[in-house]
Amino acid sequence: MKNFLKYTLVFLCLITLSSCASSPSGPVVSTPRDISPASYYPLIRQDIYHVVAPGETLWRISKTYDVQIEDITRANRLGNNDELTRGQSILIPSAAPVRPVIPLFPSRKWRYIIIHHTATDEGSALLLDKSHKNRGWKGLGYDFLINNGTQGKPDGHIEASLRWIHQEDGAHCKASNMNAKGIGIAIVGNCSNEKPSQKQLDTLVYTVNVLRKYYKIPISNIMGHRDVPGANTECPGNSFPWQEFIRRLK
């Protein structure tokens, strides 16, 4: 009887761990239920319109705003087989304030995290994807982009690029072959002139902590673009609060 109870408990524990590890409709993902930084304002729900970024799915959007997929499809009269298109504006009913959603994919290739700024006043994954394509690149060069409240995206909102979703090499740092082994995270704004907003910094700290723990990246391998051997740039800018950022990693 004791052995039966022991094996039953082990079986139940395995089921619980398995159900928490991933979603059947998406990758392993970090979605915080309890975010400590003060800049994540109280839970005030309201209807909003969301502009779909390249590669963005209903699953990811539902996690970002804490709204069921069924409620989003019903509000927008979407069928079960309808696919979202980049630039499409959809209604998110009773949306919660955005929270960072970080898709995680099992991989051994990611050994560094490289921090960038866009050196632009405005930006979004949709806008920069178009801009980078005009340079001859295969869309947005960064793996993640942290918005600054422009282009219809909330301050501190994070977007994952198609490169990251497909686990392709980046186009953000040629030096030391970082495109193939470094995760590129860019803050929208020009940190040569001013610091990132508090919400952007909070999201950056959270994102880097999630990524470095999952991929076992040491803090010594978290670098600004300018600190990569062979790089010739000021990125992420002289006003980026590097010491504060590193101090907050835990």
The answer to whether the Cα torsion of 50, 54, 59, 65 is positive or negative is negative
Q: Which residue has the tokens 């860019």?
A: 186
For the chain, the structural domain boundaries read 46-95, 106-248
pLDDT, position 99: 84
2 has pLDDT over 80: no
Over 80: is that where the pLDDT of 19 sits?
A: no
Two structure tokens written together for 128: 């920069």
Instruction: Tell me which architecture the domain covering 106-248 has in CATH.
Output: 3-Layer(aba) Sandwich (3.40)
Q: What integer pLDDT is reported at residue 213 of this predicted model?
A: 95
pLDDT on residue 7: 37
Q: Same topology for domains 46-95 and 106-248, yes or no?
A: no
Q: Out of 1.10.1240.10, 3.40.605.10, 2.40.10.10, 3.10.350.10, which CATH number does the structure's domain 46-95 have? A: 3.10.350.10
Tell me what pLDDT residue 171 has. Answer: 96
How far apart, in whole angstroms, are the C-alpha atoms of residue 145 and residue 165? 13
Give the pLDDT mean for 227-248: 96
Q: Is the pLDDT of residue 22 over 60?
A: no
CA 67 to CA 232: how far, in whole Å?
44
Confidence grade of residue 143 (pLDDT, cut at 50, 70, 90) = very high
pTM of the model: 0.82
With a cut of 60, say whether residue 72 has pLDDT above it. yes
Rounded distance between C-alpha atoms, residue 53 and residue 125, angstroms? 6
* Band of pLDDT at residue 40, cut at 50, 70 and 90: very low
